[in-house]
């Protein structure tokens, strides 16, 4: 296995570059015969697995300390050296670069802290420096990941530096190079640059992220509720309901066909949430109750994408995501899953390895309810305020953390670091935002509407044939004793495989207590993905990994439901 050494002066960002390359699975140990610690990890370079070693920082290859002695010894074992330089102190750092030339080892030079050069008015011509040194030179900002992807792509181009110099003329030669490639000027920090900086620093970035997420979901809820209150619900109540009431007598009230198409009339009136007919509940739920939230969610998501904020949020949550074995880009499937689990499952493609895809897709399916399901849960339990909603969503957060931590430890495979370019902040192009919004809404309708109609149709058939009652009796020990729910809740659990938001809505007419509503809503979130998400996950993970994921979901649903019933 080839070894790639990261070498540079102390405090040039070597460890951050190392983390970017190797991810969360790293090994720290002492160099044999010393107490000097170094770190090693692994990454894939095309189809080859290579070892990355974070060499102790050194200013020279003429060692004056134990750490520098270890750095020189490790150099003998390396196949390629990535020489990391502090771009804001080019002259001092090139001293080590020149000494590495004498070792005749393939090299790549990394100009780290590239963002700081702009802030300080330093301009370095990286292309000219590459021509002079005759080795690849890559500007990076390791903190945000800028340039890391280019570094990975150019590692195979590493070559031995051929710059010739006399030892006594070394500093003179370095000075000549710096004079050719570097210029200095006074420059004020732009507002967008200052904003970009504070958004990726934990102390300032976390409050900003919380504020943006709070504002985003407040706007999403406002737009969604406005559309429901003034557009979709009035349309169904004032236009569609009278039409269905005229159709009802023609189908024969109480007959099989009537129950399938119109559903049950409540005291002679049509209730779109409880009638459960194909043309009533089957159309009302996805179009009137869910689509407004999907529309508003994707509108705000498109704006966040086009402003360039989402990659910065990924950088900010990178360390948190490491807890569950993912890197910062694993945040994207979770965020998309809040809109709809189907695009969330598809977004797991941003993860590089099988292990990351498995963890990301499973966590999203278990603990990230879609906007439609969230809306139904809020509508069902929201009247109880925080004492109703907090236990549901707090439980999902705890499950997300614990399940992810355990999968990180026990699922075999690798979790490399993310390679993501951070775009500059820019004003969103609303034509592009509108186009993405249209495509996503159409996709939701094409994927969701058929399954909602199918779900309503199947549950009506099952009720008519008495199968729901049979399944309820068979599952009664779990439903009634473990979860503390009435047998009628089995219908919601069955239909949850087809559409979870519909399943939550089915809890409304059961007259459940607050405790039962909390347990039922939480179990419905955890126990299984809807059939559309299930189909996507099978395609993305494969049948074997999907079966493992399903086993985890069902096991967690039984465990969490039982614990909630015990402690509430």
Q: What's phi and psi for 55, nearest 5 deg? A: -75, 140
Mean pLDDT of the chain: 84
Please spell the DSSP secondary structure of 481-502, one letter per residue: IIS---GGGHHHHHHTTT-HHH
Q: What is the pLDDT of residues 315-371, one digit of tens each?
A: 888 878 888 988 888 888 888 788 778 778 877 876 778 898 899 999 999 999 987
Q: What is the pLDDT of residues 128-182, one digit of tens each?
A: 999 999 999 999 988 778 899 899 999 999 999 878 888 788 899 999 999 999 9
Q: Quick check: 272 and 284 in contact, CB under 8 A? A: yes
Q: List Cβ neighbours of 271 (8 Å cut-off, separation of 6 or more).
A: none
Are the beta carbons of 145 and 114 closer than 8 angstroms?
A: no
H or E segment to which residue 473 belongs? helix 467-474
Residue 294 near residue 228, CB atoms below 8 Å = no
Q: Are 52 and 42 in contact, with CB atoms under 8 Å apart?
A: yes
Instruction: Confirm if 517 and 388 have CB atoms less than 8 A apart.
Output: yes
- For residues 143 and 119, the answer to whether their CB atoms sit within 8 Å is no
- Give φ, ψ of 519 to 5 degrees: -65, -50
Count of CB atoms within 10 A of residue 487's CB? 16
Measured distance between the N- and C-terminal CA atoms of the chain, rounded to whole angstroms: 55
SS3 state at 201: coil
Say yes or no to pLDDT of 394 above 90: yes
Calpha distance 94→109 (Å, rounded): 10
Residue 183, SS3 per DSSP: strand
Are the C-beta atoms of residues 413 and 355 closer than 8 Å to each other? yes
Largest Cα separation within the chain, whole Å, is: 103
Q: Is residue 545 predicted with pLDDT exceeding 80?
A: yes
pLDDT per residue over 231-244, tens digit each? 999 999 999 999 99
Question: How far is Cα 357 from Cα 349, in angstroms, rounded to an integer?
Answer: 7
Q: Using one digit for the tens of pLDDT, what is the confidence trace for 273-313?
A: 667 788 887 788 778 877 887 788 889 888 888 788 887 88
pLDDT at 138: 96
Give the position of tokens 């670069």.
Answer: 97
- Asked whether the predicted pLDDT for residue 526 surpasses 80, the reply is yes
Asked if 527 and 554 touch (Cβ cutoff 8 Å), the reply is yes
Tens of pLDDT, residue by residue over 197-224, are: 788 778 888 899 889 888 887 888 789 8
> How far does CA 518 lie from the centroid of its chain?
26
Whole-number pLDDT of residue 52: 92
The pLDDT of residue 560 is 94
For residue 418, the model assigns a pLDDT of 65
CA dist 518 and 168 (Å) reads 77
* Nearest C-alpha neighbor of 502 from the set 376, 374, 338, 345: 376
pLDDT of 185 above 90 = no
Cα separation, 292 vs 299, whole angstroms? 11
What span, in angstroms and rounded, lies between the C-alpha atoms of 114 and 141?
Answer: 5
What's the confidence (pLDDT) of residue 391? 93
Q: Give yes or no for a contact between 224 and 232, defined as CB atoms under 8 angstroms apart.
A: no
**Tokens matching residue 415:** 């979790």
pLDDT tens digits, one per residue of 396-434: 999 999 999 999 989 888 777 666 556 667 778 777 788
Give the strand order in the sheet containing 80-86: 26-30, 37-45, 48-54, 3-8, 80-86, 107-112, 137-139
Mean pLDDT to the nearest integer, 562-567: 92
Bigger pLDDT: 471 vs 210:
210
The candidate with the shortest Cα–Cα distance to 334, out of 322, 344, 324, 319, is: 344
Q: Which of 328, 346, 344 is nearest to 336 (CA)?
A: 344
**Lookup result for tokens 């499937």:** 333
Of 266 and 148, more confident: 148
Give the predicted TM-score (pTM) of the model: 0.64
Distance of alpha carbon 241 from alpha carbon 389, whole angstroms? 32
Summarize the confidence of residues 112-138 as an average pLDDT: 90
Three-state DSSP state, 42: strand
Cα separation, 160 vs 313, in Å, equals 38
pLDDT top residue among 23 and 258: 258
Provide the pLDDT for residue 465.
76
Q: Tell me: pLDDT of 110 over 60.
A: yes
Percent of the chain clearing pLDDT 70 (strictly above): 92
Report pLDDT digits (tens) over 36-70.
778 888 888 888 889 999 998 888 898 877 778 88
CA 566 to chain centre: 32
Give the pLDDT band of residue 447 (cuts 50, 70, 90).
low
SS3 state of residue 85: strand
At 564 the pLDDT is 93
Question: What superfamily does domain 3-188 belong to in CATH?
Answer: P-loop containing nucleotide triphosphate hydrolases (3.40.50.300)
Above 60 in pLDDT, residue 35?
no
| pLDDT level of residue 557 (50, 70, 90 thresholds) | very high
Q: Does residue 81 sit in helix, strand or coil?
A: strand
Per-residue pLDDT, 498: 64
* Position 468 pLDDT exceeds 70: no
CATH 3.40.50.300 maps onto the chain at 3-188
- Say how far apart CA 344 and CA 373 lie, in whole Å: 14
Distance CA 216, CA 224 (A): 12
């Amino acid at each position: 296995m080839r070894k790639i050494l990261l070498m540079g002066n102390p405090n040039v960002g070597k460890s951050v570059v190392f983390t970017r390359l190797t991810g969360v699975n790293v090994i720290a140990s002492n160099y044999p015969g010393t107490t000097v610690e170094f770190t090693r990890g692994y990454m894939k370079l095309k189809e080859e697995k290579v070892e990355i070693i974070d060499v102790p920082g050194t200013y020279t290859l003429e060692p004056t300390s134990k750490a520098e002695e270890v750095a020189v010894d490790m150099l003998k074992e390396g196949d390629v050296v990535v020489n990391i330089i502090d771009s804001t102190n080019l002259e001092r750092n090139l001293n080590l670069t020149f000494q590495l030339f004498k070792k005749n080892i393939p090299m790549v030079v990394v100009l780290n802290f590239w963002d700081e050069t702009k802030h300080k008015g330093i301009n370095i011509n990286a292309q000219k420096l590459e021509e002079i040194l005759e080795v690849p030179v890559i500007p990076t900002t390791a903190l945000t990941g800028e340039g890391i992807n280019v570094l990975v792509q150019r590692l195979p181009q590493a070559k031995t530096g051929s710059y010739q110099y006399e030892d006594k003329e070394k500093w003179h030669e370095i000075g000549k190079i710096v004079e050719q490639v570097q210029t200095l000027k006074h420059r004020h920090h732009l507002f967008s640059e200052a904003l970009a900086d504070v958004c990726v620093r934990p102390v300032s970035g976390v409050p900003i992220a919380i504020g943006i997420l709070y504002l985003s979901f407040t706007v999403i809820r406002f737009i969604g509720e406005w559309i429901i209150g003034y557009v979709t619900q009035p349309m169904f109540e004032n236009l569609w309901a009278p039409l269905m009431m005229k159709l009802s007598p023609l189908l024969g009230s109480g007959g099989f066909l009537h129950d399938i198409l119109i559903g049950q009339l409540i005291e002679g009136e049509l209730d779109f949430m409880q009638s459960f007919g194909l043309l009533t509940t089957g159309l009302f739920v996805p179009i009137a109750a869910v689509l407004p939230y999907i529309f508003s969610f994707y509108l705000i998501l498109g704006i966040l994408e086009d402003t360039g904020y989402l990659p910065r949020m990924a950088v900010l949550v990178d360390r948190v995501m490491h807890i569950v074995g993912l890197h910062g880009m694993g945040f994207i499937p979770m965020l998309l899953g809040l809109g709809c689990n189907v695009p969330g499952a598809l977004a797991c493609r941003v993860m590089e390895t099988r292990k990351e895809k498995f963890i990301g897709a499973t966590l999203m399916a278990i603990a990230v309810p879609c906007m439609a399901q969230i809306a139904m849960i809020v509508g069902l339990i929201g009247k109880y305020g925080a004492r109703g909603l907090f236990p549901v969503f707090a439980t999902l957060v705890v499950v997300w953390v614990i399940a992810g931590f355990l999968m990180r430890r026990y699922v075999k495979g690798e979790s490399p670091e993310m390679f993501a370019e951070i775009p500059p902040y820019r004003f969103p192009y609303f034509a592009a935002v509108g186009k993405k919004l249209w495509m996503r809404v159409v996709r939701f309708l094409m994927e969701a509407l058929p399954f909602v109609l199918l779900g309503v149709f199947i549950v009506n058939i099952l009720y008519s044939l008495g199968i729901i009652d049979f399944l309820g009796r068979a599952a009664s020990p779990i439903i009634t004793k473990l979860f503390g729910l009435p047998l009628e809740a089995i219908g919601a659990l069955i239909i949850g495989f087809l559409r979870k938001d519909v399943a939550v809505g089915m809890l409304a007419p059961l007259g459940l207590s607050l405790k039962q509503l909390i347990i039922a809503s939480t179990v419905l979130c955890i126990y299984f993905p809807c059939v559309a998400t299930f189909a996507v996950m099978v395609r993305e993970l494969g049948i074997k990994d999907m079966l493992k994921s399903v086993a985890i979901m069902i096991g967690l649903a039984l465990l969490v439901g039982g614990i909630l019933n015990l402690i509430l």
